[in-house]
Structure 1
């Protein structure tokens, strides 16, 4: 058996661990988060390579050294260990997600993985000049050369130092996606702290497993929809559902940045979240402005890649798609709604019923549990859904082909937010009369941390 995929996985974990540990101050939880921080570091390296030039391997080394220095500075500052950061908690997060993740045994044969994400990784893995020429090439417009680089960056970083192969790419991409889903589980568990532990863990795990609900083939197949959807949902949970979300915003802002730098849909969704956070925290606009940092990061990539010469295959009408079958906007709308209902309709209907019942009977208990209004979740999901419908209705592609090849993947964020909404109401119902702890997060004490020597809990 070729050891390269396993070695690549270990390298990604090692690369992301220092910054992840600086954020959560808990080593086992840091291992869960590490692939996401490694992917973000790889993205910074890709951007520097495109702007300055030179090989990706050089910029990856520079970014990792700088990131380790920043992590050391963060660790030396006063802080708190994240709740639920012990070994037992990490196992509770990871182990239930492993059975569906066994789909990674399937061969790396997904078309979009090859034609978009790994193609991008291939030209990123060379140097700045090569990558800029590829991004500007009319022959590669079909591959969405304007897409953000986060999903391709860690694969490119690995390929820049080992012989490229698709099995390694699949393992690296799947690891980053798994990290996103696991972090979503963690944030749901942390936010539902007022519920009994068994209930909160069950609900958090159920939300994580919902990432396989609409397009299970993509989670470990090299596609990115589960990656950006999970990070988007995690950011919504932390920023719009929890109490005092901007008191320690580094982790949710990191997740929102990952979403904005993974896919164009993620950037659009990040705009909606930032706007809602601004409204929610309007009494302190200086802190609320932090929510716009991920949007600025995604916008900076969009500006850079267009300066390099990228074109969107959607706006340019290119890409080798089936001939457009002319139908009216009304027909496109009807087909879109029908397709979305087939994927997400039952979950949305169930969440709507739970919300109505909860508003009627559990509003006071929800307040005591320290959860914000469920309306924030519906607003975030509604904004994304409205943009999604408008894109399908106004886009240049044959609508039946477009829906058939994408709707199960792009509807995942809506499904996840509906699952979070249901989980919140169930947690409120089961945690009646229990107020959250003073920190609003965990029943376990959190000692101040002033150095890397952090006490460790496995409760």
Structure 2
């Protein structure tokens, strides 16, 4: 029996756990977040390798040491455990996601996984000179060498230690993606903290399971679409639904960085979300500026890729047809998007309309921001999709057939988030609902509250010196 895939997963957990624990202060939630933080750390190692040079393994070791030091520094600061951080909450998040993950036993045969993500992992694992040559080679244009490295980086880090194996790569990609889905479930649950616990958990799990709705094999097949979509949706939940989303920004900023460094569409979506958050938090632009850091990270990769002579088939190819053929291209695009999203968007719109007419007061009492922010993110991303399909160089029928189900997954997840918010305020406001503190705690505060479905009813101890407000 080959133990390499199992050891690879354990390596992800060990590498990412210190920083994940420093962010969440819960060992159980940290286990769910650890694969994602390990992927982000390995991405930093890949970028440093390309900029400075040398073998990837050296940079992985240095970045992991720096990550451990950063986690130690964070843990020395006063902080609190994340809400819903008990072992039972982690099981509520993880167990419902396991059945669809059984598709991991399917063969590792997805074309995009082999021709893009694992090919990139292969040349990253061979060191800086090999990787730079591959990124700038015209022979590798078909593999989208301009794509960000996060989906490939953890595989490359492991392949720099063990013999390259596609089953290991498939399992690593699946674990990292499920980590993003788990954080989406967690953040939906946290956003619904003032409604019935049973209703909130059911809705949060349903939103997470929607990740498998469009392309069931995307999570376990080695693709990056479900990874960046779940990370983006989780960031959107945290930054658009909460009453004060920038008070605890570390987890949503991490997820937004994952989205921006996983695929080009993720960077574009992250930029739009950042604009919305900036507008929403315009009264405190200094804190809102933090949300631009993930976009800057994605933009830095785009600049580095161009400096390494990476080419994009979309930006370097011949633009799409204009005139009558352009009109036909538009009609075909809208028809394809409608086939995939029509019922979902109509259903979500009806729920949002009814909720807006009858439940706005209950929504405010539940601590949820206006649903219009989520729909603004949906509209922005749909406009980007249509513009890309119209201006891109690829033959439109083939392009839509091979991509439309994957690239529309963020819309499905955001529509599910919108529905979940209205269903929560409609059916979750009973006697089991929680009574959270009037003010959400800061990113790092001195009092350490108990995690759980219900906050500690006892008032915090008041220090005898000064009271910080």
User: How would you bin the TM-score normalised by the shorter chain?
Assistant: over 0.9
Q: Distance in 2 between matches of 1:11 and 1:403?
A: 38
Partner of residue 436, structure 2:
437
Q: Distance in 1 between matches of 2:435 and 2:235?
A: 20
Partner of residue 363, structure 2:
366
Partner of residue 298, structure 1:
298
- May I ask how many residue pairs the two structures share in their alignment? 448
Q: Distance in 2 between matches of 1:148 and 1:349?
A: 33
Q: How far is the alpha carbon of 1:327 from its aligned partner?
A: 6.6
Q: How far is the alpha carbon of 1:126 from its aligned partner?
A: 1.2
Partner of residue 419, structure 1:
416
**CA contact 1:80–1:447 (8 Å) conserved in 2:** yes
RMSD value over aligned CA atoms?
2.0
Q: For 1:341-420, list aligned pairs within 5 A.
A: 341-420=338-417
Partner of residue 56, structure 2:
56
Q: How far is the alpha carbon of 1:430 from its aligned partner?
A: 1.7
Q: Distance in 1 between matches of 2:163 and 2:439?
A: 48
**CA contact 1:80–1:448 (8 Å) conserved in 2:** yes
Please state whether the residue corresponding to 2:139 is helix, strand or coil. helix
- Stretches of structure 1 lacking an aligned partner (at least 5 in a row): none
Does 1:87 find its partner at 2:87?
yes
Q: How far is the alpha carbon of 1:337 from its aligned partner?
A: 1.0
User: Normalising to structure 1: TM-score of the pair?
Assistant: 0.94
Please state whether the residue corresponding to 1:80 is helix, strand or coil. coil
Q: How far is the alpha carbon of 1:202 from its aligned partner?
A: 0.3
Q: How far is the alpha carbon of 1:217 from its aligned partner?
A: 1.2
| CA distance 1:276–1:325, change in 2 (3 Å) | closer
Q: How far is the alpha carbon of 1:231 from its aligned partner?
A: 0.4
Partner of residue 262, structure 1:
262
Partner of residue 120, structure 1:
120
The one-character-per-residue Cα deviations of 1:237-283 (angstroms, maximum 9, x if unpaired) are 00011120000100000000000000000000001111001000000
Q: For 1:142-157, list aligned pairs within 5 A.
A: 142-157=142-157
- Stretches of structure 2 lacking an aligned partner (at least 5 in a row): 455-469
Partner of residue 161, structure 1:
161
**CA contact 1:377–1:421 (8 Å) conserved in 2:** yes
Q: Distance in 2 between matches of 1:358 and 1:424?
A: 9
Q: For 1:13-412, list aligned pairs within 5 A.
A: 13-317=13-317, 328-412=325-409
The farther-off stretch of 328-337 and 353-362 is: 328-337
**CA contact 1:81–1:448 (8 Å) conserved in 2:** no
Partner of residue 6, structure 2:
6
**CA contact 1:19–1:67 (8 Å) conserved in 2:** yes
| CA distance 1:327–1:99, change in 2 (3 Å) | farther
Q: Distance in 2 between matches of 1:100 and 1:74?
A: 35
| CA distance 1:188–1:173, change in 2 (3 Å) | same
Q: How far is the alpha carbon of 1:448 from its aligned partner?
A: 3.0
User: Normalising to structure 2: TM-score of the pair?
Assistant: 0.92
Q: Distance in 2 between matches of 1:302 and 1:381?
A: 24
**CA contact 2:348–2:419 (8 Å) conserved in 1:** yes
Please state whether the residue corresponding to 2:107 is helix, strand or coil. coil
**CA contact 1:278–1:289 (8 Å) conserved in 2:** yes
Please state whether the residue corresponding to 1:448 is helix, strand or coil. coil
Q: How far is the alpha carbon of 1:80 from its aligned partner?
A: 1.1
**CA contact 1:85–1:458 (8 Å) conserved in 2:** no
| CA distance 1:324–1:278, change in 2 (3 Å) | closer
| CA distance 1:3–1:327, change in 2 (3 Å) | farther
